[in-house]
Structure 1
């Protein structure tokens, strides 16, 4: 069901929803960008439509709403422990089709990857409803079409932003009454980006051999990557973490256990007991990430992990392109196939 609604009335709907929901959307944080006098666009709680940045790509994904950067799992003393709690409100997130598809990958990792669910992820994720922001034109470095992530129908509300109004497709009955009161019924069909400037040729999984993992193509990334981890932290589907026990100063036998984002490009990620450290050179880390995104995950779950949002390309200070890396994998495999013939 479609509704057309003026911005001022849409703000009334947001105000009403905030009694029951925390509402998150891409938001501008002035002077917080990676360079001097640049802004940062990341997810934060909003109170009005004017705060939503819908005509630029957010620099970071919305995953931290359901999978916080630092998350307390439980508190402990000498004799007992107590599990942490979360807020009572439900959650609304404004996000694009690629990020909704990315959230589904996170669901797979945390909720379907083995016999046990991650309860700390689940208790936040089950609160979430999606408001999908229509994405008709590609941003720089996006390759969502190549990754089949440019489309989804998994949303409660779909929105098209115009200068003084919003046009909505309401799929969730929980929201229809609000829009019927303040909006005007219209015929409306959401549109999706159909072509990106960046195109990726995905490799055939059957062509990937054990020998390919030692190919010289990975040496380039040993020289260029600086292991800053920005690709991991900006990615919607990177889900790795480490755990830390924090002891309180007033009583070292009491404290809390936290999990904290980590990633395959970040130093010490592969440190093990006994001083062992795997993938010390940065090229092997790039190989690990690449093959996980377009090979390992696909073999297990039937789709590629990467959704083609392009944030890793946007954020890399060394201008390493993940989309070009995928294309190099395909090109290298074709050369190997020709040589073997």
Structure 2
């Protein structure tokens, strides 16, 4: 079903939806940014159109709705353990095309690998996705067109905000009942067709050809903060923590918490042996995973071209420049 709604009609639909769904969208949190006078754009619950930030790219992706930063796996005492109750209310997530592609990448890790992760699977069953169009060339650090993630049809609800109205494409029958207002109208999603940044990904990379290359020493200036991993919508690594209750050390909970391949200790083995001690080697590991290793298993690049890693790095390390530099070095640049 394709409909054109006024802003007021769309708000009525959101209000009706919010009774059955938690609705998540990028919102502006004033003075919560990197510096005291900057804002932060991240995913939060909303109930009306005016709360949504349609202008700026979110600093964090929608990944944490399905894969929380900190998640309790089970509670335990000396005799038994108990899995916590999962999401009880359905969710509708408003996101861009690239971020929906990112969810599909995470699905491969947690659902289509050797076994399915039950926590992620339970959460995914409760979530529907509404794609917001991206007019123009996206943002300065975006390169989704190079990665083929600039368009998608795999949404439950398509949304285009234009000329003070909301164009909708409702593909999920369960959502139809919430959009009673409006009139039938042709729908055209505004997808990015070209970015300012362009990336050429080298194909058929052989690790032995680049593992000891001096280019990785350029990235030893990385301070191992892990920001690039935490803002990345396709980074899926975590560590586990056992938290014991202060009043009774025989009870507590086990959590999984986001982790980063750039941070010290992530790859420490028994006996204290540490793989990839140099920051540049960790950069190589991440890059190879994003553009080579993942594709060998699942058939698509893991990177979706959102550019958040470039935005977040305090050392101004550019993943975009790294990929293009690697491509030129391997002779795969077609420019």
Category of TM-score, reference length = shorter chain: over 0.9
Q: Extract unaligned runs of 5+ from structure 2.
A: none
Inter-partner Cα distance in structure 2 for 1:30 and 1:163: 26
Inter-partner Cα distance in structure 1 for 2:55 and 2:127: 23
The structure 2 residue matched to 1:249, chosen from 240, 246, 256, is 246
Inter-partner Cα distance in structure 2 for 1:269 and 1:140: 31
For 1:70-219, list aligned pairs within 5 A: 70-114=70-114, 116-137=115-136, 138-162=138-162, 164-179=164-179, 181-205=180-204, 207-219=205-217
CA deviation after TM superposition for structure 1 residue 79, in Å:
0.5
Per-residue CA deviation, residues 269-289 of structure 1 (Å, 9 max, x unaligned), is 111221111111100100000
Inter-partner Cα distance in structure 2 for 1:240 and 1:141: 24
CA deviation after TM superposition for structure 1 residue 330, in Å:
0.7
What is residue 286 of structure 2 aligned with on the other side?
289
Per-residue CA deviation, residues 28-59 of structure 1 (Å, 9 max, x unaligned), is 11000012311000001111111111111000
Per-residue CA deviation, residues 69-108 of structure 1 (Å, 9 max, x unaligned), is 0000000000000011123111100000000000000000
Q: Report the secondary structure of 2:55's partner residue.
A: coil
Q: Report the secondary structure of 1:145's partner residue.
A: helix
What is residue 259 of structure 2 aligned with on the other side?
262
Inter-partner Cα distance in structure 2 for 1:8 and 1:209: 55
What is residue 325 of structure 1 aligned with on the other side?
322
What is residue 279 of structure 1 aligned with on the other side?
276
Say if 2:160 and 2:188, in contact at 8 Å, map to a contact too: no
Inter-partner Cα distance in structure 2 for 1:37 and 1:209: 44
What is residue 50 of structure 1 aligned with on the other side?
50
Aligned-residue CA RMSD (Å): 1.2
TM-score, scaled to structure 2: 0.96
Inter-partner Cα distance in structure 2 for 1:6 and 1:266: 48
Say if 1:208 and 1:333, in contact at 8 Å, map to a contact too: no
Call closer, same or farther: CA 1:178–1:211 in 2, change over 3 Å: closer
Inter-partner Cα distance in structure 2 for 1:191 and 1:21: 26
Q: Report the secondary structure of 2:145's partner residue.
A: coil
What is residue 69 of structure 1 aligned with on the other side?
69
TM-score, scaled to structure 1: 0.95
Say if 1:73 and 1:259, in contact at 8 Å, map to a contact too: yes
CA deviation after TM superposition for structure 1 residue 163, in Å:
5.1
Shift >3 Å, 4+ stretches: none
Inter-partner Cα distance in structure 1 for 2:210 and 2:94: 40
Q: Give the structure with the larger helix fraction.
A: 1
Matched residue pairs, number?
Answer: 331
CA deviation after TM superposition for structure 1 residue 209, in Å:
4.2
CA deviation after TM superposition for structure 1 residue 315, in Å:
0.7
Inter-partner Cα distance in structure 2 for 1:271 and 1:209: 22
Q: Extract unaligned runs of 5+ from structure 1.
A: 336-341
Say if 2:17 and 2:178, in contact at 8 Å, map to a contact too: no
